[in-house]
Structures are given as structure tokens and as C-alpha cells.
Amino acid sequence: KQEVTQIPAALSVPEGENLVLNCSFTDSAIYNLQWFRQDPGKGLTSLLLIQSSQREQTSGRLNASLDKSSGRSTLYIAASQPGDSATYLCAVSYTGGFKTIFGAGTRLFVKA
């Protein structure tokens, strides 16, 4: 069964700290992997998309890596800010990109 797991479920860090969120998936035959941000009561905002052939993507203070052989992805957030507080979701797409499996998310709180 295709599953996506995110650890930890929740994380609290002081402002300015660098942090890593983890995502693991059971089926390595992925089409792509995405990281999303979700604010309370809101929809999801796409942060980074890594295609199957890529190893990493960067956007500002965010860097996402992909290791298909080990079934893992990490989202690195540099110099965290209180505005980064949100739930971060990892999503893996299969079968031409239409079948998407989401992890349960990591709830991040950055303390000022």
C-alpha cells in the first residue's frame, strides 16, 4: 500500500533556528513530490515541487531534497520566523501525476 509518513507530528522552535521536516514514502516509483503549507482554516499553498528526476529544489529560505532510493524527502527551513508557523504537508504523486498521497503533516510553531 502506498503510504506517506511525516515525522514529527508537531514541532516548536525558537525564532532564528534552522529546522528540518521529514517525509517518507513506501513506493519509490513516484511521479513527483510536493511540499505544501496550510494555515489554520485555509487551503494548501504549494511551496516546492520536486520532479522524479530531480534531487532538490530551492525557494528563498526553503530547500527540499528527494532521495527515491531510500523513500525520503526533507524540507529545510533556514532562519525560521514566527510567520513560518503553519502545518507543512508532504504529498507524493503516482500514475502520471494524478494519484496523490498526502502525509498527515507536521505542525510547526516558531516562537518569537
Partner 1 sequence: NAGVTQTPKFQVLKTGQSMTLQCAQDMNHNSMYWYRQDPGMGLRLIYYSASEGTTDKGEVPNGYNVSRLNKREFSLRLESAAPSQTSVYFCASSDRTIYSNQPQHFGDGTRLSIL
Q: Restricting to residues 56-85, which ones interact with partner 1 according to CB under 8 A?
A: none
Please report whether residue 32 would count as binding partner 1 according to CB under 8 A: yes
Query: Which residues, other chains included, contact 82 with Cβ-Cβ below 8 Å and sequence gap of 6+?
Result: 15, 110, 111, 112
Q: Give the shortest CB-4-to-partner 1 separation in angstroms.
A: 7
99 sits near partner 1 (criterion: CB under 8 A): yes
Please enumerate, as own/partner, the contacts of 58-61 that have beta carbons within 8 Å and a separation of 24 or more: none
Choice from 14, 40, 96, 112 touching partner 1 (CB under 8 A): 96
Q: Does 97 bind partner 1 (CB under 8 A)?
A: yes
> Grid coordinates standing for 33?
513530490
* Strands 56-59 and 106-111, sheet pairing: unpaired
CB of 20 to partner 1, least distance (A): 20
CA 20/CA 22 separation, integer angstroms: 7
Residues 6+ apart with CB under 8 A from 75: 20, 21, 23, 35, 47, 48, 62, 63, 64, 88, 90
Select the residue interacting with partner 1 from 60, 69, 98, 112 (CB under 8 A).
98
- Report the residue from 11, 68, 74, 102 that binds partner 1 according to the rule CB under 8 A: 102
Residues forming contacts to partner 1 in the complex (CB under 8 A) are: 4, 31-32, 34, 36, 41-46, 49, 51, 89, 91, 96-105
